[in-house]
Amino acid sequence: MKTRSLLRFVTVALLLAAADRMRAQDTNPDSKEDDSGRPGKGLRFVWKRHPSIRVGGWLRVDFRARLQMDWTVLNPETSASPDIFDFERRRFAVEGVLFKRIEFEISRETAETDFPWKDVYGNIRIARGLQVRGGRFRIPFSLEQTTGPTDLDFIERSRIAARLAPGRDTGVAVHGNVLKRGLRYNAGVFGNDGDIAATTTNLRTGQRTVAGRLVAQPFRWLPAPKLLEDFSIGGAATTSDVPAGLYGIRGRTAASDTTFPAYFVSGNRRRVGLEMNWMPGPFSVKGEFIDMREQRLKQSIRGEDLPDMIQRGWYLMGTWVVTGQRKSRGLDRGRYVPFIKRWGAVELAARYEAIRLASDTSTGLASRSTRAFNATRQSDRVLTFGVNWFLTQWVKLQANVLRDRIEDSFRAPVQGVPSYWIYKFRMQFTL
Amino acid sequence: MRQAVLPLAFLAVALPSLAQETKQTLQDELFDEKAFQEIRLEIHPEDFRKLQNNFRDNTYYPANLLWEKQYLENVGIRSKGRTSRRPNKPGLRVDINRYEDQEFIGFKSFLLDNNIQDLSLIKERLAMALYQKMGLPAPRETHGRLYVNDAYVGVYTITESTDKKFLKRWLGEDEGFLYEWEFLEGYRMQYLGDNPGLYSPSPFKPETNELNPNAAPLEKMIRAINQAADADFPKAVGEFLDLKKFLTGLAVESYLAEFDGFLSDYGINNTYFYRFNGKNLGMFIAKDRDNTFTNITHPMFANANANVLVKRCLANAELREFLFSEVMRAASLTGGADGWMDKEIVRLADLLRPHVYADTNKECIETPCTLERANADFENQVAYMRELVAQRREIVLTELKALGYTPLPEPATPEPVANAVGMPIK
């Protein structure tokens, strides 16, 4: 075990060294090719942020890799306690643009067996305000769930984004940016309602899903200080039918322990989400609220209708780039920082979140039964503090401390123990 | 104010004790030896279909439970058993507090044994009654009809769980370590090494203190069983195992011609082990005795040479003598033709007969199984059990004499050590 960990560590060290070397190449003033592919001709190989093959101005194929190594410690340890070291992501992708109008991406996660194929789609850009995407990709719902794993402010997504948002599925969506880029819309139809809603045996539970998301940056149109220009608010919704079965979406902690087992549902599953995002200078404030409602038609022990199950939650988070860079421009460039050259960007982050699961009634004896009329309420509240260090444009280090508190300690990871600590450290290499 | 305090204090003391008394009364009613119970379960039809289709799984399903005037919603039920699992007549574990903190007349769970391997349907109840008469902890049992969603499923044995409640009632404590024996083919107490993890969670599967099963004393016990010097064996092993209680239990199962217990052909099976709180000392507790009364001539100590613990007990003169005397005590309590056990067989068979005859889910010796054939098997099995009880004592005595046992004169009336519902007599 120790040998394997050592090998992993050596691998990481080599990757870091290679990254730094590439970074040196990246700053070469002789480089004439930028990320857009101008102005080269014919077939050529370009290595800027990632290796890329380009043919004239009509084809660009980028090769991407995302590696994330996690070290996790739980106190107290639980049944789902992971190994201290985990290769959380080993994702490889090919992305590209054809004729400047057709975009594509194929990515596969080699560290996962449940749904190894991630984004596999094509996107036709008819105009900036009208694009059509088809294939497998993220259902447009939730600010954080639609953010890539390497761009997250914390190691773990919030509970609502990780559990209530649908995730990826196969479908078709129309999307675009309109009104001076002040309004983004995205609406689609999908075969099911996402990987996250699948059972432990990877059976997708929701049937045909209709989803839509609208995000506005109102201060792009309204007179307001420049500081408010990045402020965005949005809303999203999904609806799908779920067949009768033990398909209710289970509650899980940030350490993947179950706090609310699957329950019987039948009928409609509906999600509604609200989101806001503001990145003034080196600061950022984000928040989301998601409400998910699942019908339980004819699901009582006697075959009668049960009140809907409701899962509802929110988070509010803030970050501060203590080294001063503007958050909205991205911190992954590893730019020079005055007085502390080559130390990249350092960011502090804090998040408070809550998720609650209950039936839409409080009458009658509360029960943890999977067919309870009045389901015993469960909630999970998590306070997270984090430090992110963007060492170079390829390397990011993250450290998080989470304090998790579970309301119904009967269903806590360690029965009777309602609170526990999670310490996480992540080393991320992105090509 | 002070006037109100006294009555309130009285109520605070009296009410819990009254509730306890009510539970005890209801338990006595449930296990009334003359009664034939009726248990009704309501379960979503789809769940029951799944339980039947996946009868080898331990998946829990919510159900409502009705017995007499006791109605409980949202108890958990699951299929139970090892080789006795069947889809049409599933053995069930009823977990009262699976989904909420509730009890059923003071129980947190109980078992509904399908008796599928016992054509008479009464072997286990009789065997457990004998354990109790011998002064050993054994679950209380009774019989009843089981209805699921108003459909008659069959005759079941209602068995109290071997859990903390059981331990408290029998042993006066429940904070120790209870393990359920997980069958490990061919394993008969051989020493496997000094790693406690080799003994628990398998075969000693923790039922209490699951997060801290403390298997170290188990390793020491098995080391002592295997490695203690002959002269030191009773003392060395006695630190970890109540040898007298173990030998009494062995006497009962061997006398009753148990096929699937401590001396089974395939390895040790069907037992619990409880280690007392704060001590190294523990004891075995019998489980599932529906494979007793198998053969009148079933050897008393079949496979004893392969079982390290039994072999070494038999090699020790004092322990062997104690074991033989306990066998004969079991024989005395059982009685011969027209003795206690024989009367119990007849009484229970009469009590069950109309319900057994209506049980279309019971099995036969030969296939195809028809109701007539199954009913004939029931009668034949009852008759065979009576024959076994009538003849067993002489056959066993002959076997013991061949092993060097000299019987003592029997006392006129055996002293009872447990009452009819299994409560130890103080």
Kindly report the nearest CA distance between residue A340 and chain B, in angstroms.
Answer: 49
pLDDT value, residue A330: 77
Q: Which two structure tokens, joined as six digits, stand for B78?
A: 């699951």
C-alpha distance from residue A24 to each of A27, A329, A340, A427, B154 (Å): 5, 21, 18, 21, 80
Calculate mean pLDDT across residues A387-404. 92
* Count of CA atoms in the C-beta half-sphere (13 A) of B375: 12
Q: Measured between CB atoms, does A102 come within 8 Å of chain B?
A: no
B101/A303 Cβ within 8 A: no
* Closest among B118, B101, B208 to B161, alpha carbons compared: B208
- C-alpha span between A270 and A197 (Å, rounded): 12
Neighbouring residues of A14: CB distance < 8 A, sequence distance ≥ 6? none
* DSSP-derived 3-state class of residue A235: strand
Nearest Cβ partner of B99 from A264, A300, A368?
Answer: A368
- The answer to whether residues B53 and B146 belong to one domain is yes
Range of the domain at A396: 66-89+145-166+175-430
List the single best residue of A246, A306, A367 to mutate versus B (max B Cβ within 10 A): A367
Q: What is the CATH number of the domain that holds A233?
A: 2.40.160.10
The β-bridge partners of A67 are: A90, A429
Structural domain tally of chain B? 3
State how far the Cα of B311 lies from the Cα of B320, in Å rounded to an integer. 10
CA-wise closest residue to B138 among B345, B289, B268:
B289
Is the pLDDT confidence value at A337 over 80? no
CB atoms within 10 A of CB B189: 21
Nearest-Cα distance to chain A for B42, in Å, is: 7
- Between CA A242 and CA A192 the distance in angstroms is 9
- A232-247 as b/e, with b when 16 or more CB fall inside 10 Å? bebebbbbbebeebbb
Domain shared by B351 and B323, yes or no: no
Is residue A407 situated within a structural domain?
yes
| Residues B93 and B219 placed together within one structural domain of the fold | no
The residues, any chain, with a CB within 8 Å of residue A220's CB and separated by 6 or more, are: A179, A180, A181, A182, A229
How do residues A127-169 score in pLDDT, each as one tens digit?
A: 989 999 999 999 999 999 999 988 999 999 999 999 999 999 9
Lowest mean pLDDT among A7-16, A145-154, A300-309, B123-132: A7-16
Same domain, B99 and B135: yes
In a domain, A272, yes or no: yes
Q: What angle do CA B147, B150, B154 make, to 5 degrees?
A: 30
- CB atoms A301 and B45 under 8 Å: no
A209 within some domain = yes
> Can you tell me the mean pLDDT for A42-62?
90
Structural domain contains residue B277: yes
- A2 pLDDT tier (thresholds 50, 70, 90): very low
Rounded CA separation B281/B388 (Å): 36
The distance of Cα A380 from the centroid of its chain, to the nearest Å, equals 19
Pair (B200, B242) in one structural domain:
yes
DSSP string, B340-366: HHHHHHHHHHHHHHHHHHT-TT---SS
A67 and A428 Cβ atoms separated by less than 8 Å: yes
Residue A357 in domain: yes
Q: Which residues of A touch B61 (CB under 8 A)?
A: 370
How far apart, in whole angstroms, are the C-alpha atoms of residue A143 and residue A161?
A: 8
The pLDDT-based confidence of A425 (bands split at 50, 70, 90) is very high
What distance in Å separates the CA atoms of residue B131 and residue B422, rounded to the nearest whole number?
A: 9
Using CB atoms, which residue from B44, B100, B101 is nearest to A371?
B44
Q: Does B63 touch chain A (CB under 8 A)?
A: yes
pLDDT, residue B425, reads 41
Q: Which residues pair with A319 in a beta bridge?
A: A284, A349
Instruction: Identify any residues that bridge with A236 across adjacent strands, giving them in sequence order.
Output: A213, A273
Amino acid at B209: N
Q: How far is CA A341 from CA A121, A336, A338, A344, B88, in A?
A: 40, 5, 6, 8, 75
Are A376 and B73 an interchain contact pair (Cβ–Cβ within 8 Å)? no
State chain A's mean pLDDT as an integer: 87
Using CA coordinates, name the residue in chain A closest to B102: A367
Decide if A368 touches B, using CB distance below 8 A: yes
pLDDT of A220 > 90? The answer is no
Any idea of the CA torsion for B329, B333, B336, B339, to the nearest 10 degrees? Answer: 160
**Does B419 reside within a domain?**
no
Question: Who has greater pLDDT, A382 or B84?
Answer: A382
Domain, as residue range, for B374: 340-402
Q: Do both B132 and B52 map to the same domain? A: yes
Q: Are residues B109 and B234 in the same domain?
A: no
Tell me what ipTM this predicted complex has: 0.72
Residues A226-273 have pLDDT tens digits of 888 889 999 999 999 999 999 999 999 988 889 898 999 999 999 999
Contact of A341 with chain B, judged by CB distance below 8 Å, is answered with: no
DSSP B32-99: -TT--EEEEEEE-HHHHHHHHHTTTS---EEEEEEETTEEEEEEEEEE--SS---SSS--EEEETTSS
Q: Considering the domain boundaries, does residue B278 fall inside one?
A: yes
Q: Hey, of B51, B60, B74, B101, which one would you mutate to test binding to chain A, going by the most A CBs within 10 A of its CB?
A: B74
Asked if residues A153 and A349 have their Cβ atoms less than 8 Å apart, the reply is: yes
User: Is A375 at the interface with chain B, CB within 8 A?
Assistant: no
- The span from the CA of A83 to the CA of A81, in Å, is 7
CA distances B157 to A378, A423, B80, B351, Å, are 37, 51, 13, 13
Provide the pLDDT for residue B420.
Answer: 44
B82 phi, psi to nearest 5 deg? -115, -75
What does the pLDDT read at residue A413? 86
Residues B244 and B382 in one domain: no
The string of pLDDT tens digits covering residues A174-211 is: 999 998 888 999 999 999 999 999 988 888 899 999 99
Q: Distance from B209 to chain A by nearest Cα, in Å?
A: 12
User: CA geometry: angle at B51 spanning B48 and B52, to 5°?
Assistant: 90
Lowest mean pLDDT among A336-340, A380-384, B368-372, B394-398: A336-340
Neighbours of B104 (CB within 10 A): 21
Among candidate residues B119, B139, B164, the one where a domain is terminated: B164
Please check whether residues B294 and B351 belong to one and the same domain.
no
Q: Distance (Å, rounded) from C-alpha B143 to C-alpha A188?
A: 60
Nearest CA in chain B to A373: B74
Amino acid at B327: V
CB contacts, 8 Å: B98 with chain A: 368-369
Condensed to tens digits (0 to 9), the pLDDT of residues A93-107 reads 999 999 999 999 999
Whether B95 and chain A come into contact, CB under 8 Å, resolves to: no
Which region among A6-20, A57-71, B165-179 has the lowest average model confidence (pLDDT)? A6-20
Question: Do B81 and B188 lie in a common domain?
Answer: no
Q: Which of B296, B331, B366 marks a domain boundary?
A: B331
In this structure, the answer to whether residues B236 and B196 fall within a common structural domain is yes
* B206 in any annotated domain: yes
User: Is the pLDDT at A1 greater than 70, yes or no?
Assistant: no
Q: Any CB–CB contact under 8 A between A369 and chain B?
A: yes
Residue A76: its pLDDT value, please?
87
Q: What angle do CA A135, A138, A144 make, to 5 degrees?
A: 165
For chain A, what is the domain count? Answer: 1
pLDDT tens per residue, chain B (426 residues)? 556 666 666 556 665 666 777 888 999 999 999 999 999 999 999 999 999 999 999 999 999 999 999 999 999 999 998 888 889 999 999 999 999 889 999 999 999 999 988 999 999 999 999 999 999 999 999 999 999 999 999 999 999 999 999 999 999 999 999 999 999 999 999 999 999 999 999 999 999 988 788 999 999 999 999 999 999 999 999 999 999 999 999 999 999 999 999 999 999 999 999 999 999 999 999 999 999 999 999 999 989 999 999 999 999 999 999 999 999 999 999 999 999 999 999 999 999 999 999 999 998 888 888 999 999 999 999 999 999 999 999 999 999 999 988 877 665 655 555 544 445 443
Give the distance from CA B150 to its chain's centroid: 29
- What's the pLDDT score for residue B413? 57
Is residue A224 a part of any domain in this protein? yes
Element spanning A296, H or E: strand A283-296
All residues at 6 or more sequence positions from A148 whose CB lies less than 8 Å from its CB, including other chains: none
- B368, part of any domain: yes
CB contact A397 to B (< 8 Å): no
* Cα A295 to Cα A270: distance, rounded to the nearest angstrom: 9
SS3 A322: coil
CB-CB neighbors (< 8 A) of A367 in chain B: 62, 73-74, 99-100
Q: Which of A247, A370, A377 to mutate: most B Cβ within 10 Å?
A: A370
In this structure, the answer to whether residues B160 and B177 fall within a common structural domain is no
H or E element in which residue B249 lies: helix B243-255
